[in-house]
Structure 1
Amino acid sequence: MRILNTRRLLGVAALVAAASIALSACSSADGSTPTASASAAGTFAKSADTLVFAATPDQAGSDQNYKPIEDYIAKQTGLKVEYFPTSDYTALIAAMVAGKADITTSGGLQYVMATNKGADYSPVAAQLNSPNVTKAGYYSEAMANPKSGVTSVAGFKGKKVCFVDPNSTSGFLFGLYQLQKAGLDVKSTGTDANGNPQFKDFTAVFAGAHDKSEQAVAAGQCDAGFAEDTIAEAGSQKGEVKVVGKELVVGGPFTVSNKLPSDVKDKLTKALQDASLATVKGSGVTLSDGFAKNYFGVEKIDKAYYQPLFDLCKNIAAAKCAA
């Protein structure tokens, strides 16, 4: 994943990870046996002078984008920081469950999946998605055609509803979550000719992209639908659709192992919660181009911030992430 922006990473990886995590929970990305160093007050993933930082690169060379954060953490704690690359979210979740990392960064859904599998980490800071904002995450927005007569998400019952695709977090999973909260049945009754899930209380149409979902609702091909906030709001401003509901898609967290000595955990928590771009730069570390252009800081959060995702995993079968 990019350290920088988690909003588009949750969908496909989450569904794949849920299906295969059990197979990989006992091994690391390189198949090595985990090592741990225990102190009187806690346990390190590797040794008492080293913090292991686990992340999932999503493109060649993206591991270098984590280097400024690693160097920043090292300066703030006085400990070495070792990068633990994982090939995908399955491997990252497995590493968390096995306690092979002291610090992780992931999508919010992957943190919840790992926790449901027994991983013992506290989320302390959620990454911001863009500059000039102070709140992490973004919104899955419910749209209706202005001529449809739909004025709320509850009004989607019996309607043709556009989603993005079955692997989209904001364009499908959080759409189902909003429908479920509004009282609609979101248990799949089967699939259509293309293998897409169908439902009793509404007819699901999969547009294939966020902008196409908005366009289909605007054209009346769907009575209502879901898309990420930037797309839905743009359509609303043009009068093509009206936004009738929304749900926060929480930002991806930095997490800290609860097994660490309390003083180390406290130092890490403070460092990560203070990790604005200016703070990281001011610490004297060298910023990579990718980090400088795409890292926007964090919002201080705790486990309660992820409750919507815990609820989604529990109640929405299509998420395939319930413990």
Structure 2
Amino acid sequence: MMKPTIAALALGATALTSTAALAQDADWREDVPVFRIGLLGGENEADRLRDHACQEAYLEERLGVDVELFPASDYAGVMQGLLAGQLEFAGLGSSGYAGIYLQDPEAVEPLYTVMQSDGSLGYYSVMYTLADSGIETLEDMEGRTLAFADPNSTSGYLVPSFELAEQLGGPLEGYFGETGFGGGHEQAVVAVLNGQYDAGVTWTSGVGDINQGYSRGNLRSMVDRGMLDMSDIQIIWQSNLITNGPRVIRSDLPQELKDLVMGAMMQLQTEDRACFDAINDGESMGYWPINHEFYEPIINMRRAAEGAR
């Protein structure tokens, strides 16, 4: 896995930054008077709106148009909003991007992703159980119940369902007593904490202090909100490295707008570090430009999964 340096990141941001002067005479604002940002489901709506309010204000100042946040109840809501032209921009998981691409390859463009604090461009899916459950290994999960997060989540469904089936040598239905969806990463953890499922899967950077929920991810976000104490759970399985999901923009938008958004967001970690951390679920090094090719392995995995269904 390539590990870009801080110097390279800064160089990339500088090269992609559009100046405010470039925007002042742009007439694209007549066609795009409001820039709508989709927020994936998976955690409390009020928390999502609060965490992203700084991004709303930041982009309004730099784009010169109104910016509005649209939280969806699930991943599919954001995906359909982008496909229908009802949203201009969103952060997606790799599987969500793959799902859009397989429906319409021209719908959106990936702009950048998050670089973890160790310089990698990936993260992990992990399976967790209650610390006092007596379930210590994947083998102990035979006949037990498992909560996935969302059917369009990379780490919360696509990758674990694919890798677990390979590891177990057969369909998950023949191994686990029952599988279901928690309605999002946060909700699935709550369901396990409440005893509704024996285990769940979620996403984490896999680096940093495990007692804090690692450096970044759903566990870290829940620890930071006081919703989770890591001593209450244990991790019994971890996936291979997964590509960090992209921030995407609709392909049919004016190029001037795309350039302004890219330039502004690539500067966010230096312009407003607190905002950068708030919208990225913990600590990370910065943003890194990516393109479609970065997600082809996940697209192929999702294509195969949909073909199997």
> Is 1:136 aligned with 2:125?
no
Report the counterpart of residue 113 of structure 2 in structure 1.
126
- The structure with the largest helix share of the pair is 2
Matched, 1:50 2:34: yes
Contact 2:113-2:247 at 8 Å conserved across structures: yes
Give the superposition deviation at 1:164: 9.0
CA distance in 1: counterparts of 2:157 and 2:281, whole angstroms: 29
After superposition, residues 231-270 of structure 1 pair within 5 angstroms as: 247-270=240-263
Superposed displacement of residue 251, structure 1 = 1.8
Shift of residue 160, structure 1, vs aligned partner: 9.2
Q: TM-score, normalised by structure 1?
A: 0.52
Cα deviation 1:103-151 (Å, max 9, x = unaligned): 11232222222222227111111134x5x33333313589xxxxxxxxx
Query: 1:115 is matched with which residue?
Result: 101
Could you tell me which of 259, 282, 288 is aligned with 1:294? 282
Are 1:277 and 2:277 counterparts?
A: no
Deviation at 1:287, TM superposition (A): 4.6
Task: Report deviation, 1:256.
Answer: 1.1
Q: CA deviation at 1:98?
A: 0.1
Determine whether 1:194 maps to 2:157. Answer: no
Distance 1:53 1:176, change over 3 A: closer
**Alpha-carbon distance between aligned partners in 1 of 2:204 and 2:308, rounded to the nearest angstrom:** 17
Structure whose alpha-carbon radius of gyration is higher = 1
Distance 1:191 1:318, change over 3 A: farther
Give the drift of 1:192: 5.5
Does structure 2 retain, via aligned residues, the 8 Å contact 1:187–1:317? no
Measured after TM superposition, the shift of residue 313 of structure 1 is 0.7
Conservation of the 8 A alpha-carbon contact between 1:138 and 1:251: yes
**Structural RMSD (CA):** 4.7
Separation of aligned partners in 2, 1:134 and 1:81? 34
Instruction: Work out whether residues 42 and 261 of structure 1, in 8 Å CA contact, stay in contact via their aligned partners in 2.
Output: no
CA contact 1:125–1:253 (8 Å) conserved in 2: yes
Task: Please list every run of 5 or more consecutive structure 1 residues that lacks an aligned counterpart in the other structure.
Answer: 1-40, 143-158, 198-205, 212-226, 235-242
Relative distance call for 1:49 and 1:98 in structure 2 (3 A) is same
Identity of aligned residues (%): 15
SS in structure 2 opposite 1:316?
helix
Once residues 61 and 141 of structure 1 are traced to their aligned partners in structure 2, the CA distance between those partners, rounded to angstroms, is 23
Q: In the alignment, is the contact (CA less than 8 A) between 2:91 and 2:247 conserved in 1?
A: yes
With over 3 angstroms needed to count, the CA separation of the structure-2 counterparts of 1:82 and 1:73, relative to structure 1, is closer
Amino acid at match of 2:146: D
d(CA) in 2 for partners of 1:193 and 1:139?
Answer: 21
> Would the aligned equivalents of 1:51 and 1:79 in 2 still touch at CA under 8 Å?
no
1:223 is matched with none
- Native 8 Å contact 2:94 2:245 kept in 1: yes
Tell whether the 8 Å contact from 1:126 to 1:253 is kept in structure 2 after alignment.
yes
Give how far 1:207 is off: 6.3
CA distance in 2, matches of 1:133, 1:120: 32
Between the aligned partners of 1:112 and 1:270, the Cα distance in structure 2 is 24
| Matches of 2:281 and 2:123, distance apart in 1 | 19
In the other structure, the counterpart of 1:85 is 70
Q: Secondary structure at the match of 2:241?
A: strand
Query: Could you tell me how far apart the structure 2 residues matched to 1:295 and 1:166 are?
Result: 26
1:109/1:309 contact within 8 Å kept: yes
Change (3 A) 1:267 1:171: closer
Q: Determine if contact 1:108/1:250 at 8 Å carries over to the other structure.
A: yes
1: distance between equivalents of 2:164 and 2:176?
23
Where structure 2 has 5 or more consecutive residues not aligned to the other structure, the ranges are 1-25, 128-138, 181-196, 211-236
Q: Deviations over 1:179-223 (max 9, x none)?
A: 7889x96556x54682359xxxxxxxx961579xxxxxxxxxxxx
- 1:35-46 paired onto structure 2 within 5 Å: none
